[in-house]
Structure 1
């Protein structure tokens, strides 16, 4: 009797006892080839996962992948360094870092910061770090509001800071119409995503979180 399941034919009582049917041999060969390809990197399943997650982003702002972030100073508003002027790029050094540059803090942006805060808490062993940089021409006027937002949303692992000047730090290439620019680096830039006002969607938040896997494993 021969029973067909799709393209695979199981043969019983057809005079082929002790031999592997050719159709099954083909499937086994394909599986072996597929397994070998995965192990050797052919087919790209592993290498694709390691590729930069921002290749499909249409709105471009910020540093290019592979660029080296330059030092810059900010005024710290929350966290252990509250009240100090310092360089987080220098402080964090070669650690995996998420730099969150904002010109406004709407609900989706705040939700993203909350998610990244949770990631930082979960990856202390990998020394993942992050900081928020508010780009503004009036830093004194926004500090109180930033403190309120951090407290209300229980942001505990990401300091909120202000940078004087809406253009942003030299070399970071943040477009003037970018409301949010998230850049991740570990010595060099690993990922970069940016949005204009009101463009950040909930599903894109999970994509940003996935980008951290380019730095932590």
Structure 2
């Protein structure tokens, strides 16, 4: 029995990627349809016709247009950088009608609202709305956001998932991969 426990411990130490890979599965898979979900706008995108405090379905407002949905529990610098890059892409791809919005997740709605406001200020994004989903703990149930994922990014077009990125820690997010998939979708 001791040998079995030792062997299991050794496998866990030597192969952490097996456990990590499971944790990083988060959000809708490629090809799946993106359903509606409601959020409260908290900050950002002052010119999008939606007032702060308004409850709406941004996913619905965006329709079948190309869009990026960010679900985060973090205000890490990597998330700030992602939002800044998305803001740039929204301006560059105005003709393609690219849309994006950032959903802050948290253990309480008040904490999520506070964090998303901090993220909006830190990013200085002009075109990205910052929201708190009505289902604030893990986002919309049918989107399958993993509670262990600090950030999940869903890139969609024509109401279907084109690409999905997730990381247990926002620090581990591969910005180049996200932006690369976004560029592929737009071309």
TM-score (norm 2): 0.78
> Which residue does 2:40 correspond to in 1?
75
> Which residue does 2:73 correspond to in 1?
103
Q: CA deviation at 1:115?
A: 0.8
Q: CA deviation at 1:83?
A: 1.4
**After superposition, what is the alpha-carbon deviation per residue over 1:98-141, rounded to whole angstroms, capped at 9, x for unaligned?**
00000122111111111111111110000000000011232223
> Which residue does 2:172 correspond to in 1?
200
State how far apart, in whole Å, the 2-side matches of 1:212 and 1:170 are: 25
Equivalent residue of 2:61, what SS?
helix
> Which residue does 1:180 correspond to in 2?
151
User: CA RMSD, aligned part only?
Assistant: 1.8
- 1:1-217 maps to which residues of 2 (within 5 A)? 58=21, 59-78=24-43, 79-80=45-46, 81=50, 82-163=52-133, 164-186=135-157, 187-201=159-173, 204-217=174-187
> Which residue does 1:14 correspond to in 2?
none
> Which fold has the larger relative contact order, with Cα–Cα distance below 8 Å and residues 6 or more apart in sequence?
2
> Which residue does 1:54 correspond to in 2?
none
Unaligned runs of 5+ in 2: 1-20
Q: Judge conservation of contact 2:156–2:163 (CA < 8 Å) in 1.
A: yes
Figure out how many residues of one structure are paired with residues of the other and give that number: 159
**Residues 183 and 118 (structure 1 numbering): CA distance in 2 closer, same or farther, change over 3 Å?**
same
State how far apart, in whole Å, the 2-side matches of 1:158 and 1:206 are: 19
Equivalent residue of 2:105, what SS?
strand
State how far apart, in whole Å, the 1-side matches of 2:101 and 2:170 are: 21
Equivalent residue of 1:68, what SS?
coil
**Residues 97 and 198 (structure 1 numbering): CA distance in 2 closer, same or farther, change over 3 Å?**
closer
Q: Judge conservation of contact 1:103–1:166 (CA < 8 Å) in 2.
A: no
Which structure: larger Rg?
1
Q: Judge conservation of contact 2:42–2:116 (CA < 8 Å) in 1.
A: yes
TM-score (norm 1): 0.68
**Over 4 Å off, 4+ runs:** none
State how far apart, in whole Å, the 1-side matches of 2:121 and 2:170 are: 23
Q: Which 10-residue stretch deviates more, 146-155 or 113-122? A: 146-155
State how far apart, in whole Å, the 2-side matches of 1:156 and 1:197 are: 26
